[in-house]
């Protein structure tokens, strides 16, 4: 956001640690928050974990803690406080008043990053919509707060209420307008997607926590050209490239926005359209950074998001796990990992796991074979004889299947060997069973 190092906004990052949180996790959480701040282009000058026994409704933090923050802000000349948690609008406002600097919470921070990073029209509209959803949810919270203040009489009227109601109406109107614009942009893109679906190519989608290495892998597997960077949310817009498979077949690979913990559902919903692509893919590749100490937690978070959008194994969609960045593990760690990968493959829930390094390319070939295997596992290879009169069936086969061989006799009758996906084979058999040799 700010290019010039001297002009960078100097920030205090505060990670609230609750009594039930693990101490070690808090360190990593704080590190992630620093990464997010850097992704926004601000300079994290001070970063600290603040123990919270119970959340204060007025300031979130205790008064002693706020005082310490104020001192820190003064001595370091800071102008931004990032709270790596969820603040109510009242808490945010009170903190800003007391500290006399801008205060944002985790969702606010992520929204800011998305706002700066969104490059396409659709991306920008999605972020705008997400921001509306965020603001609306905060209005609701203020509303409950006001009700509580009045002792929950439930009575109507009062200046605050009217204001909130009109704010809410204004937001809803704006949201409606945005949605219509977004629909328009998407219809165009939907058409493009349909065009892709008509092609026999299958679609493989990369998913995973932000910074896991999705774009790096994307570039390794295709002709590349996507920004891969040690920065959270480097990718916001979906990109597609041809994915060559070892046998010479082709698929389409898509790179998507990364996931992150504690995203409110409203934000996930705003990115639903991007995630639609994930849902419609023939195969998901879950890229995981195995050098991340929180790898297991991240995995569960990604799986939760997938479930929320009704994608993944629970919805019959095959998934392969890529255990990336193994070059960063020591020898002991690598041996342990190889054992786990082997165990996972024979496990009850049979996870296809491939250990790779996008840096050294170790394991990438095995992954490519694994992807092809997963994509063609349920394929049918049919021997078909078509007469010239059935030219439409022949055209359909060319469009939807992979024609492995085709010989046409003098009488114009063609003998074909065609590879079809399970569903296409079903469709073909339902209509043209008589053509099967
Ligand atoms: N050491 C090592 N670094 C890797 C490997 N793969 C990716 N990286 C690095 O990890 C960082 C993040 O990579 P990206 O490909 O941008 O990650 P991403 O999952 O696309 O992240 P977002 O788009 O932000 O969600 C980059 O600095 C990469 O160079 C690997 O196998 N080993
Ligand atoms: Mg990326």
The protein residue whose alpha carbon is closest to atom 21 in ligand 1 is: 211
- Binding-site residues, ligand 1, Cβ < 6 A: 208, 210-216, 228-230, 232-235, 258, 324-325, 327-328, 357-359
CA distance linking residue 342 with residue 357, whole number of Å: 17
Flag whether 352 is in a domain.
yes
In a domain? residue 195: no
Q: Find out whether 349 is annotated in a ligand binding site.
A: no
What's the DSSP call for residue 44?
E
How high does pLDDT run on average in the chain? Answer: 83
Instruction: Tell me, yes or no, whether 141 and 276 share the same domain.
Output: no
> Does 193 fall in a domain?
no
- For 56, the domain range is 5-115
The answer, yes or no, to whether residue 156 has pLDDT greater than 60, is: no
**What ipTM did this prediction achieve?**
0.99
Does 194 map to a domain? no
91 and 181 within one domain = no
φ/ψ of residue 13, rounded to 5? -105, 125
pLDDT at 224: 66
Burial class of residue 162, CB neighbours in 10 A (0-12, 13-18, 19+): exposed
Indicate whether 34 and 157 sit together in one domain. no
Point out the domain boundary residue: 327, 359, 376.
Answer: 376
**CATH number for 30:** 3.40.50.11060
Whole-angstrom distance, CA of residue 419 vs CA of residue 83: 55
Q: What is the per-residue pLDDT across 299-318, written as a single tens digit (0 to 9) for each?
A: 998 998 888 888 998 888 99
Could you tell me which residue, 148 or 390, shows the higher pLDDT? 390
Ligand nearest to the CA of 216: 1
Query: Residue 247's pLDDT is what?
Result: 82
Instruction: Identify residues whose C-beta is under 5 A from ligand 2, the ion.
Output: 214-215, 234-235
Closest Cα to residue 313, out of 347, 341, 338? 347
- Note whether 237 and 292 are same-domain residues: yes
Q: How far apart are CA 328 and CA 324, in angstroms?
A: 9
What distance in angstroms lies between residue 237's CA and the mean position of ligand 2's atoms?
A: 9
Domain count, the chain: 4
* Å from CA of 229 to ligand 1 middle: 6
Ligand-binding annotation for 256, yes or no, is yes
Which of the ligands is closest to the CA of residue 358? 1
Share of the chain above pLDDT 90, in %: 35
Q: Are residues 263 and 208 in the same domain?
A: yes
Q: Is the pLDDT of residue 72 over 70?
A: yes
Give the distance (Å) from ligand 2 centre to CA of residue 28.
21
| Band of pLDDT at residue 147, cut at 50, 70 and 90 | very low
The strand pairing partners of 283, in sequence order, are 204
By CB neighbour count within 10 A (0-12 exposed, 13-18 middle, 19+ buried), where does 69 fall?
buried
**Are the C-beta atoms of residues 203 and 252 closer than 8 Å to each other?**
yes
Same domain, 279 and 179: no
Q: Which residues, including other chains, have CB under 8 Å from residue 38's CB and lie 6 or more apart?
A: 44, 231, 232
Q: How many other CB atoms are found less than 10 A from the CB of residue 305?
A: 21
Residue 212 annotated as lining a ligand binding site: yes
Radius of gyration (C-alpha) of the chain in whole angstroms: 26
Residue 361 and residue 297 share a domain: yes
5 contact partners, CB below 8 Å, separation of at least 6: 43
Q: What is the DSSP letter of 60?
A: B
Q: 283 alpha carbon to ligand 2 midpoint, in Å? A: 18
Pick 147 or 213 by higher pLDDT.
213
Report the relative pairing of strands 414-420 and 380-386 from DSSP bridges.
antiparallel
Instruction: Identify the band that residue 158 occupies on the pLDDT scale cut at 50, 70 and 90.
Output: low
**Where among 185, 216, 244 does a domain terminate?**
185
Q: What is the pTM of this model?
A: 0.77
Please give the backbone phi and psi of residue 258, each rounded to the nearest 5 degrees, phi first.
-80, 160
Tell me the CATH number at 319: 3.40.50.300
**Looking at the structure, do residues 222 and 347 belong to the same domain, yes or no?**
yes
Ligand 1 nearest-atom number relative to CA 230:
27
Same domain, 339 and 321: yes
Which pLDDT band, with edges at 50, 70 and 90, does 186 fall under? confident
What pLDDT, on the 0 to 100 scale, is given for residue 168?
82
């Amino acid at each position: 956001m700010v290019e010039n190092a001297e002009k960078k906004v100097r920030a205090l990052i505060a990670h609230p640690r609750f009594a039930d949180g693990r101490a070690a996790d808090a360190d990593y959480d704080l590190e992630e928050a620093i990464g997010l701040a850097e992704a926004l282009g601000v300079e994290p000058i001070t970063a600290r974990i603040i123990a919270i026994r119970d959340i204060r409704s007025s300031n979130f933090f205790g008064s002693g803690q706020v005082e310490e923050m104020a001192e820190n802000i003064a001595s370091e000349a800071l102008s931004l406080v990032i709270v790596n948690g969820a603040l109510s609008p009242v808490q945010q406002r009170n903190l800003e008043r007391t500290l006399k600097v801008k205060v944002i919470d985790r969702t606010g921070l992520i929204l800011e990053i998305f706002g700066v990073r969104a490059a396409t029209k659709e991306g920008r509209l999605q972020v705008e919509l997400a921001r509306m959803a965020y603001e609306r949810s905060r209005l609701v919270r203020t509303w409950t707060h006001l009700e509580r203040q009045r002792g929950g009489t439930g009575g109507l009227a009062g200046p605050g209420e009217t204001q909130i109601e009109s704010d809410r109406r204004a937001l809803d109107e704006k949201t409606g307008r945005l949605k219509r614009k977004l629909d328009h942009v998407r219809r165009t893109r939907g058409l493009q997607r349909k065009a892709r679906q008509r092609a026999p190519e299958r679609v493989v989608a990369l998913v995973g926590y932000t910074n896991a290495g999705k774009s790096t892998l994307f570039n390794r597997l295709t002709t590349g050209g996507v920004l891969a960077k040690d920065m959270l949310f480097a990718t916001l817009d979906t990109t597609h490239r041809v994915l060559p498979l070892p046998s010479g077949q082709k698929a389409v690979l898509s790179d998507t926005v990364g996931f992150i913990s504690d995203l409110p559902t409203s934000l996930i919903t705003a990115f639903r359209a991007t995630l639609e692509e994930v849902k419609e893919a023939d195969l998901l590749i879950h890229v995981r950074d195995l050098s991340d100490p929180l790898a297991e937690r991240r995995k569960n978070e990604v799986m939760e998001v997938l479930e929320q959008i009704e994608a993944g194994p629970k919805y019959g969609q095959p998934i392969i796990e890529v255990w990336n960045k193994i070059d960063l593990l020591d020898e002991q760690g690598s041996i342990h990992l190889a054992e786990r990968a082997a165990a996972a493959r024979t496990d009850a829930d049979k996870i296809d796991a491939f250990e790779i390094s996008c840096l050294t390319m170790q394991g990438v070939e095995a992954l490519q074979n694994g992807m092809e295997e997963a994509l063609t596992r349920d394929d049918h290879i049919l021997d078909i004889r078509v007469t010239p009169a059935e030219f439409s069936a022949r055209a359909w086969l060319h469009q939807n299947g992979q024609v492995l061989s085709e010989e046409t006799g003098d009488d114009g009758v063609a003998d074909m060997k065609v590879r079809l996906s399970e569903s296409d084979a079903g469709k073909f058999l339902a209509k043209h069973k008589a053509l099967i040799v």
